[in-house]
Structure 1
Amino acid sequence: MLYYLFEYLDKTLNIPGTGVFQYITFRSGLAFMLSLLLSTIYGKRIINFLRNQQVGETVRELGLAGQNEKAGTPTMGGLIIIFATLLPVILFAKLHNIYIVLLIVTTLWMGTIGFIDDYIKIFKKDKQGLKGIFKVFGQVGLGVIVGSVLYFSPAVTVLKNAANSPVIKQTTISSIVQAPVEVKSTATTIPFFKNNAFDYAEILAWTGEGYQNWAWLIFIPVVIFIITAVSNGANLTDGIDGLAAGTSAVSVLALGIFTFLSGNIIFSNYLNIMYIPNSGEMTVFISAFVGALIGFLWYNSYPASVFMGDTGSLTIGGIIAVLAIAVRKEMLIPLLCGIFLAENLSVVLQVAYFKYTKKRFGEGRRIFLMSPLHHHYQKKGYHESKIVTRFWIVAIMLAILSIVTLKLR
């Protein structure tokens, strides 16, 4: 909203200094600072409100050290993250930008699903929360919306022949160059490969002429799968104090770098990566989101004063997935979100191996002492703050390696 006000002051009244709001870096900095202040200052008020409403965590008997002490700790802290993210975005972002609209819808959509799940657990005294099938329906629904908008919206394009842009190359009348054009595309990038463009439409090339018109049959299911997988991965990672918020902040910060570079025609040309018009605006959202996550850590670090609950974890996963898809870096998710992947795989492998051994040997056996993975290390006797710190370090290493893929190909 402030963006439009200052744009009016600059272009209509020509007031000196108001043009600074045109710069994404300036608005991103303001969004980060405001979200950090909101989450730290008003976060305490939200925690007190949740405590007064007796919105306390119900702890299962898992036989883990320090687990019982967490009973009654306020949950639904994801409301802090959502509030501290959306308010700066509304103030400083271009609200007509299609990517900002998608991210706001994602935040509210996944936040609502998580809120319903937490509400059922706390007020209905049902430890299972929202039935898994309804969570999946919600994730699939968001995937259909995001996939359809990214595929069909004329506002979502990539720039073909960006190197020939007048911004990049000065031409004369006698120069013959193919002008850059914005085109609809389902292309993405494959990390670690030099010619790393991959178009989902090519999967249907065997069907013959006009196969590009049916690319949505591949693209939308891929979007659904990614959103479901990443949101569930974030949900599983939220098991000990500060783990999900800290690792997510690192991953989102790396995505912010990709977003800023992909949305800048000069940097994208220099790095030889896909230029995505208008995508740079997502940097404002990412800055607000990172600020909210860091501010939330103020209260969620060990010993936690509040838990994010599914309200926060499902929202975080959904946002990360949509960001990666929008900036055409979804194939980097296994690396960038390696912690989420490890947590997901630990559960899948544990359940699959248990069922297999029970069927074959008559009794179930386990690969890990307990899943998800962070509980395995707790069972081994590691303090949860040590586990969280080491997982953060791994997340930072993975994020750096992901950024290095810009040139490592």
Structure 2
Amino acid sequence: MEGKSASVRGLNPTGTVLLILLGIVLTGSILWLDLQQGRGLMNSLLLPFLVSTGLVSAIGYQAIPLLKQLKMGQFIREDGPQAHLKKAGTPTMGGVFVVPIGTILGVLWSRFDPDAIAVTVASLGYFAIGGVDDWKSLSNRKNEGLTPKGKLLLQTAIAIAFCGWAIYRRGNTITNVHLPFNIIIPLGVLFWGLAVFALLAESNATNLTDGVDGLAGGTGAIALAGLAAIILPKEPNLAIFCICLSGSYLGFVVHNRNKAKVFMGDTGSLALGGALAAVGILTENLWVLFILSGIFAIEALSVTAQVFYYKATKDAEGKGKRLFKMAPIHHHLELSGWTETQVVGVFYAIEVVLVLIALATRF
């Protein structure tokens, strides 16, 4: 009886409500898209979405106890929000059962489409980097994994390889940037810099967003579903891939909603950004990707602004001022009095609006 009471006290109804609302928004949007496209049951986007969501959710109940047995408990930064210290020991590396399931289902459902396979390889590359980073953090028993330089070099190598394959696969037309009102800007060799930057920026931005229960997984699921809706008419196979991955991240939020039973870790967050950027590059939708990534961009820019402002305001003793109470910005909002679920709910709503804007401005 005492254990049951403790369990009830541990429930967060607000986190559950946010999860239900997220599921309704995604499911309803995909169903509406199916109806608009006249897609029957066999070609429905809703079916792979529901299968990937259900599979990741179900496997999570087996994977989380295993992560606990393997002592994959997260170390929490002491200089972070004090409310997060109670999360110490929560299993991390949840991406190990999210990314493989989502990408494998995406490849299978797209009938082994070469583009879906290529995006899977890129995503799994970032997944592997995140896995090594998470593992080193756990082995060192502190929140420090790969060195920033080493991590960036590995990410860059994957980005260059993927961009080379993309040009080989799609030809020089992929080096054009499409903007609203049918504006096309040919980049030529400059495409390499922009595309590599997109992969690096997106993967690191989603990584920074993964700091509040349910935030990265939920916003990522919305962004992937929005990208699927935009590319569906021209790229149905990659749209199916995105839907499968969207469902897998929604399935993860079942366990990651506040109060989280598992964290995504770099294993899942780097792969999320890598997949978004890779699909955006292949489908010539970098402008759309820029809009869909608004939340992730704000998170990353808040960190950059914090660092630059601190350095610019250093006094004679070498101490600077802080632009935010803490970066990324979700921590600033927490320290300003917002609850985690308030941050997540507002960010989910913003991401939905960004998807609508992207749909309105697609070329």
**TM class, shorter-chain normalised?**
0.7 to 0.9
Q: Secondary structure at the match of 1:364?
A: coil
Counterpart check, 1:235 vs 2:207? yes
Q: Which residue of 1 aligns with 2:138?
A: 122
Counterpart check, 1:282 vs 2:282? no
Sequence identity, in percent? 31
Unaligned runs of 5+ in 1: 1-21, 158-182, 202-216, 264-278
Alpha carbons of 1:186 and 1:125: their partners in 2 closer, same or farther (altered >3 Å)? same
Q: How does 1:2-401 map to 2 (within 5 A)?
A: 26=43, 28-62=45-79, 64-95=81-112, 97-153=113-169, 156=170, 184-191=173-180, 194-201=181-188, 217-261=189-233, 263=234, 279-358=235-314, 362-401=318-357
The answer (yes or no) to whether the contact 1:24–1:283 under 8 Å persists in 2 is: no
The answer (yes or no) to whether the contact 1:187–1:197 under 8 Å persists in 2 is: yes
Alpha carbons of 1:25 and 1:281: their partners in 2 closer, same or farther (altered >3 Å)? farther
Q: Secondary structure at the match of 2:96?
A: helix
Alignment TM-score, normalising by the size of structure 1: 0.75
Deviations 1:15-56 (A, max 9, x none): xxxxxxx98972644322221121111111111110111100
Q: What is the distance in 2 between the residues matched to 1:298 and 1:67?
A: 20
Alpha-carbon deviation of 1:219? 1.7
Alignment TM-score, normalising by the size of structure 2: 0.85
Deviations 1:44-78 (A, max 9, x none): 11111101111000011135242121010000001
Q: Which residue of 1 aligns with 2:13?
A: none
Q: Which residue of 2 aligns with 1:13?
A: none
Which amino acid in structure 2 is aligned with residue 251 of structure 1?
A
The alignment of Structure 1 onto Structure 2 pairs a total of residues equal to 325
The answer (yes or no) to whether the contact 1:347–1:371 under 8 Å persists in 2 is: yes
Which amino acid in structure 1 is aligned with residue 176 of structure 2?
A
Q: Secondary structure at the match of 1:127?
A: coil
Q: Which residue of 2 aligns with 1:209?
A: none
Q: What is the distance in 2 between the residues matched to 1:395 and 1:44?
A: 28
Unaligned runs of 5+ in 2: 1-38
Report runs of 4+ in structure 1 exceeding 6 Å deviation: 22-25
The answer (yes or no) to whether the contact 1:76–1:115 under 8 Å persists in 2 is: yes
Q: What is the distance in 1 between the residues matched to 2:116 and 2:175?
A: 19
- Higher CA-based Rg: 1
Alpha-carbon deviation of 1:129? 0.5
The answer (yes or no) to whether the contact 1:24–1:280 under 8 Å persists in 2 is: no
Deviations 1:357-385 (A, max 9, x none): 10578530111111000000111111111
Q: What is the distance in 1 between the residues matched to 2:135 and 2:268?
A: 13
The answer (yes or no) to whether the contact 1:143–1:220 under 8 Å persists in 2 is: no
Q: Secondary structure at the match of 2:98?
A: helix
Q: What is the distance in 2 between the residues matched to 1:146 and 1:100?
A: 12
Give 1 or 2: higher helix fraction.
2
Deviations 1:179-212 (A, max 9, x none): xxxx844222113xx23122112xxxxxxxxxxx
Deviations 1:50-108 (A, max 9, x none): 0111100001113524212101000000112113203322432221x331121110121
Alpha carbons of 1:353 and 1:140: their partners in 2 closer, same or farther (altered >3 Å)? same
Q: Which residue of 2 aligns with 1:402?
A: 358
Q: Secondary structure at the match of 1:189?
A: strand
